[in-house]
Amino acid sequence: MGKPTLESMSRSIEEIQASIKKLEEDNEYLRDVIKEMSNPRKGVKSTRPMNREDAVRVVLGDMKDYSTKEAAQKLGLSYGQIYSARGGYTFADVFDETLKKK
């Protein structure tokens, strides 16, 4: 093995810097994952009770193709309220309408 050249040392430094940058990005990502995992139930909070009109919108109407989370955010309802209506646990008559359409 010969004496290192300025060019090979420069290339090595660039590789080390790239490795450090990648490790810093990975570390930041893992911090975000840990932060998210430490609050697993944190979600959209309801600002009001769900009514029949909301149920119709999320089960049959303009909000039916939105994700549960998106619909909850847009309507000011909780994830659980949307999930319950879509599952037929609340507003069962609205849910039954989806069965009739199939």
Residue pLDDT, tens place only, 30-49: 887 777 666 656 667 788 99
- CA dist 78 and 46 (Å) reads 4
Q: Name the band, by pLDDT with cuts 50, 70 and 90, for residue 57.
A: very high
* Rounded average pLDDT over 56-64: 94
Given a cut of 80, whether residue 70 has pLDDT beyond it is: yes
Given a cut of 80, whether residue 102 has pLDDT beyond it is: no
At which residue do the structure tokens 């989806």 appear? 98
Tell whether pTM > 0.85. no
For the chain, first and last CA: distance in Å? 75
Residues 66, 69, 74, 77, CA torsion sign: positive
* Rounded average pLDDT over 37-66: 85
Given a cut of 70, whether residue 62 has pLDDT beyond it is: yes
Q: Are the C-beta atoms of residues 79 and 71 closer than 8 Å to each other? A: no
